[in-house]
Amino acid sequence: MFALVRRVDLAEVIGAALVEKASGHGARTIAARLGRPVDTVRGWLRRFALRAEHIRAYFTVLLVDAGVDPVPPAAAAGAFADAVSAVAGAWSAGAFADAVSAVAGAWSAAASRWPLVGEVSP
């Protein structure tokens, strides 16, 4: 398990919220499903959205560097969903093949790779 700086929730919980948002769900629905305050969930989504292009680029590079013939994720419905797809693609391609990743989920491993995902200021 991996907690993000200045966050009470685990990276997996925040990652689940990001995946739900990329799938088209709103903050209220996500908050209800995760049992978290709506304002907290909105904050996660807002910070991720502000960095979505940088996150997409960073994890796409990890994905491409991970394999001999990597398959980048197809374009999704916007920058937010593209960034979530890039993190998932890098994870599935084995870009996080190390001790942290062996015991962590995709979002914990992603957070350990790029701590800017968890920073508060844009």
- Asked if residue 3 belongs to a domain, the reply is no
Concatenated DSSP letters of 76-93: -SSHHHHHHHHHHHHHHT
Asked if residue 56 is part of any domain, the answer here is: yes
Single-letter amino acid, residue 11: A
- The residues facing 3 across adjacent strands are 10
Segment 35-74, tens digit of pLDDT = 999 999 999 999 999 999 998 888 888 888 876 666 666 6
* Residue span of the structural domain in which 57 resides: 11-118
pTM: 0.72
Query: How many independent structural domains does the chain possess?
Result: 1
